């Protein structure tokens, strides 16, 4: 059985934005709110993790060495 593709950062963020909009509309039932809140927390964790990884990667890309900028090849983990 093929491995299920993980959603991208952009897909997770879009889903999170949709959940927030639905919750802010005031039209969801309590059960839907609880379900959406739980899913939103998980999506938020995934987005924050992706952002932290991107920041860590960018920090490694350019750093100073002996007063000069040293560029390092971009290698993204998990791709």
Instruction: Work out the angle between the directed axes of helices 9-25 and 30-61 (0-180°, nearest 10).
Output: 150
**What pLDDT, in 10s, does the model give residues 31-72?**
999 999 999 999 999 999 999 988 877 766 666 666 677 666
Question: For the chain, which residues make up each domain, given as ranges?
Answer: 9-71
Answer with the residue of higher pLDDT: 55 or 8.
8
Least confident of 7-11, 13-17, 66-70: 66-70
Question: What kind and span of H or E run contains 70?
Answer: strand 68-71
Q: What is the Cα–Cα distance from 36 to 47, expressed in whole angstroms? A: 16
Q: What is the pTM of this model?
A: 0.69
């Amino acid at each position: 059985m093929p491995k299920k593709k993980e959603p991208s950062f952009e897909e997770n963020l879009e889903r999170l934005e949709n959940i927030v909009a639905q919750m802010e509309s005031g039209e969801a039932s309590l059960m839907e709110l609880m379900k959406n809140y739980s899913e939103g927390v998980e999506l938020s964790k995934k987005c924050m993790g992706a952002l932290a990884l991107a920041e860590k990667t960018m920090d490694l890309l350019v750093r100073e060495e002996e007063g000069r900028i040293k560029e390092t090849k971009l290698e993204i983990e998990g791709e």
